[in-house]
Amino acid sequence: MNTTCTRAILAVSFGTSYEAARKATIEKIEQDIAEAFPDYRIYRAWTSKMILSILKKRDNLIIPNVTEAMEQMLSDGIQDVIIQPTHILDGIENNIMKEEALAFRDSFHSITFGTPLISSREDAHAVIGAVAEEFSEHLEDTALVLMGHGTSHRVNSVYAEIDSMFKEQGHSNIFLGTVEAEPTIQDLVREVCSYDPKKVVLAPFMIVAGDHAHNDMAGDEPDSWAYQFRQHNYEVQPVLKGLGEYPGIRSLFIDHVKQAITGQA
């Protein structure tokens, strides 16, 4: 890394308390960004206060939040900052991140934001392609049910739109819902039962396979998605693999950084 460089890319993620998931997703995205943009210094920030607190207390691992990362870059002599979030959508978390970063607008020559994973119809098509490629070995008698996070922000409508796009592109056996908004698990159970597969594969539609994936999706509790589908006598196979592990997803983040650098974001 060129320590005299005044240009930096700050990769901003929600974060995870799962070490293996962090290395397989967030760190892999950061590594890909570093390899694709060797003329930039690479920094990291996480937005989840709870996760940052857990890691500091449990593992003595200190990861900066957005404000701390901006302060560090300022101290290091960085002048031009590209901020690339690994968030799925431009919702509440991403908007708060932008506000925190823009508090430093007068301290840097430029602050430019890359877009979250799904910020256009082209992005949606690319994500659908990456997911379909990842699960291309599954036959039509297997339903792939994806768990998105969901948000109270109006951008939550994207989940239902992408679910429809899967079907429009010939993937009638892929279903997308959310754990905290709509479409709900009840919606998905109804749709999957109507499709009547022999088997249900569950996978997170999140960058990291963290708490939601391990507990809300694959857990043994009665409110977990795996339990709900087993109650309908389906064979259920949870896949604890975040979107950040898919090469096509990481490639899309690289494209978003390129767009930010060229002023297209």
Q: Is the pTM of this model over 0.85?
A: yes
For residue 248, what pLDDT is reported?
A: 96
For residue 145, what pLDDT is reported?
A: 98
For residue 4, what pLDDT is reported?
A: 75
**50-53-56 Cα angle (round to 5):** 150
**138-203-182 Cα angle (round to 5):** 115
The whole-angstrom separation of Cα 58 and Cα 108 is 35
Q: Are 147 and 206 spatial neighbours (Cβ–Cβ below 8 Å)?
A: yes
Sheet-wide strand order for 110-113? 41-46, 7-13, 80-85, 110-113
**229-163-95 Cα angle (round to 5):** 110
Number of residues in the chain:
265
> Is 149 part of the annotated catalytic residue set?
yes
Q: Is the pLDDT of residue 1 over 70?
A: no
Q: Are 147 and 179 spatial neighbours (Cβ–Cβ below 8 Å)?
A: yes
For residue 138, what pLDDT is reported?
A: 75
For residue 26, what pLDDT is reported?
A: 98
Residue of 149, 171, 212, 256 marked catalytic: 149
For residue 2, what pLDDT is reported?
A: 52
Mean pLDDT on 174-198 = 96
Query: pLDDT tens-digit profile of 120-167?
Result: 999 999 999 999 999 998 778 999 999 999 999 999 999 999 999 999
Mean pLDDT on 206-211 = 97
Give percent above pLDDT 90 in the chain. 95
Query: pLDDT tens-digit profile of 250-264?
Result: 999 999 999 999 985
For residue 59, what pLDDT is reported?
A: 97
Q: Share the mean pLDDT of the chain.
A: 96
For residue 33, what pLDDT is reported?
A: 98
For residue 3, what pLDDT is reported?
A: 58
Query: pLDDT tens-digit profile of 53-97?
Result: 999 999 999 999 999 999 999 999 999 999 999 999 999 999 999
Give percent above pLDDT 70 in the chain. 98
